[in-house]
Amino acid sequence: MENSIQVPTITIGQRKFNIFPLWVVFLLVGFLIGVEGMITVLRDGLSVTGLSNQVAWGLWIAIDLSAIALGGSAFVFGVIVYLLRIERFKRIGMLAVLLGFLGYSTAGMVLLFDLGQPFRFWHPIVYWQPHSLLWEITMCVVLYLSVLLAELLPIVLEHPLFHSHPILEKSKFLQLATDFLQKLSGWLHKAGPFLAVVGLTLSLLHQASLGATYGVLSGRGLWFSQSAPIIFVVSAVAGGTCLLFVTSIIVFRVMRPGLVQDKVLRELAQIAGYATLLCIYIRIWDWAVTNYYSFDLEVALQTELLNKVAPYATSFWIGQILFAVIPGIVLISAKRIKSIRVLALFALMPIVCTILTRWNYNLSGLIAQITYDPFTPTVILNNYSPTQTEWQVAIGVISYWLIAFSLAARFLPFKGEDHLHGPGHDAAAAD
């Protein structure tokens, strides 16, 4: 068919180069840099980070939150495809599942190194403390990752290697195995609506709880807010959908032309735009409420300081408001804008905005800390700058995300067809 996968090339002089191998090697170098950092952390402990008793969560938690947020499209499109049964988004929904899985596995990976005792990562699953939001998040993330895996399996098994590769004809065992895998894939596909409901529940629970993780900390005036859970959910929908739009353009428009119509991509852009604008509405509302309630001495002290001290003031107005309002307006008018590349460029901005929101949320309450002086309470500013090892691990996990995404974009068909008895040797994909 139809749609063979086209790999982006660059032309130097007369010759065309396939950039895919170079790109993967580049990412592997990034991943190795990360591995070196990960070994350092496991060997020397968290003393190699820039964290302190005052600023206990830093770059890695910001990455963890961002990765989970940017995987937010998986539950949104699970609902759109399986519950609302809007068929034209089926293939985009498959990509959303991939993004969800990558986001959550990245988060799990970076979180492992953020634990003081990484090899006790399984403790929350065995030693329950249901009052803790962090416990609930751990359980939800573990369960949701399993749901995502169940949703991802049929997408991976769609690869010709698992149903129509010539090598399968040489061994009976391989044939039996692939038959079973295809059956499994069929069952999982049938379970789609059920998985979508479970995924939606788990997602909403923990995306909101991630916000509530900060929202319940009454000792930290800046964080103690009821809007945090909503902001986390809505910004995950916005950022996640924008990322889905950008990646859809790469996977479908550039690499598989004709598989998803431009009209559908534009609709996706509109969904992303509306989600972005909704997020900004709630964000501004929250800003207004925080300032309104600044008659509370502690909150007033902290907001005053944070408004003064960059980068929070600037990053809020430029990074979180401007970077979302403009693309939001552009994306909702996607049908009127001819160039889909321009749309993609604008869709990058809310992604940055989502990451900035997580970074600021995580650090603001730690940087501005109230003292305990009962007579003249003040706010002190703590310092934090990530160390080289922290950046290394960050580069490593981001490289993992990109490698996995690139391999999937390069090799998986994303057609959503039943291959139990289907023919079709896709030579390009089988390579």
Partner 1 sequence: MSEKTNIPDQSQDNGKLSRRDFLLLSGTALGTAALRQVTKAPKSDRGASDNPEGKHRWGMIIDIDLCIGCNYCTYACQAVNNLTDEMRYNIVTTETTENGDEYFLSRPCMQCGSPPCVHVCPVEATYIRDDGIIAMDYDLCIGCRYCMIACPYDVRVFNWKDFSEDSPTVPLFGTPELPPRDRGVMEKCHFCSHRIDYGLERGLVPGVDAAATPACIVACPTGSRVFGDLNDPESPANRKLAVSDNPIRLRDELSTEPAVLYIPPRAKGG
Binding positions for partner 1, rule: CB under 8 A: 45-47, 53-54, 56-57, 114-118, 120-121, 123-124, 126-129, 131-135, 138, 213, 216-220, 365-366, 369-376
CB of 254 to partner 1, least distance (A): 41
For residues 67 and 396, is the Cβ–Cβ distance under 8 A?
no
* For partner 1, the closer CB: 83 or 381: 381
CB of 210 to partner 1, least distance (A): 12
* For partner 1, the closer CB: 143 or 181: 143
Rounded (10°) angle between helices 59-70 and 228-248: 70
CB of 118 to partner 1, least distance (A): 8
CB of 2 to partner 1, least distance (A): 50
* For partner 1, the closer CB: 55 or 102: 55
CB of 123 to partner 1, least distance (A): 5
CB of 218 to partner 1, least distance (A): 5
* For partner 1, the closer CB: 219 or 422: 219
SS (H, E, C) the chain: CCCCCCCCEEEECCEEEEHHHHHHHHHHHHHHHHHHHHHHHHHHHHHHCCCCCCCCCCHHHHHHHHHHHHCCHHHHHHHHHHHCCCHHHHHHHHHHHHHHHHHHHHHHHHHHHHCCCHHHCCHHHHCCCCCCHHHHHHHHHHHHHHHHHHHHHHHHHCCHHHCCCHHHHHCHHHHHHHHHHHHHHHHHHHCHHHHHHHHHHHHHHHHHHHHHHHHCCCCCCCCCCCCHHHHHHHHHHHHHHHHHHHHHHHHHHHCCCCCCCHHHHHHHHHHHHHHHHHHHHHHHHHHHHHHHHHHCHHHHHHHHHHHHCCCHHHHHHHHHHHHHHHHHHHHHCHHHCCCHHHHHHHHHHHHHHHHHHHHHHHHHHHHEEECCCCCCCCEEECCCCCCHHHHHHHHHHHHHHHHHHHHHHHHCCCCCCCCCCCCCCCHHHHC
* For partner 1, the closer CB: 41 or 265: 41
* For partner 1, the closer CB: 18 or 129: 129
CB of 383 to partner 1, least distance (A): 15
Q: How far apart are CA 215 and CA 306, in angstroms?
A: 18
CB of 129 to partner 1, least distance (A): 4
* For partner 1, the closer CB: 166 or 374: 374
* For partner 1, the closer CB: 44 or 169: 44
CB of 408 to partner 1, least distance (A): 31
Encoded amino acid at 366, one letter? L
CB of 105 to partner 1, least distance (A): 19
**What backbone phi and psi angles, to 5 degrees, belong to 53?**
-65, -25
CB neighbour list of residue 305: distance below 8 Å, 6 or more residues apart: 368, 379, 381
* For partner 1, the closer CB: 88 or 123: 123
Residue (of 280, 292, 282, 290) closest to 319 by Cα position: 280
CA 396, 401, 403: angle at the middle one, nearest 5?
Answer: 90
* For partner 1, the closer CB: 117 or 339: 117
* For partner 1, the closer CB: 29 or 297: 297
Distance of CA 30 to the CA centre of its chain: 19
CB of 224 to partner 1, least distance (A): 10
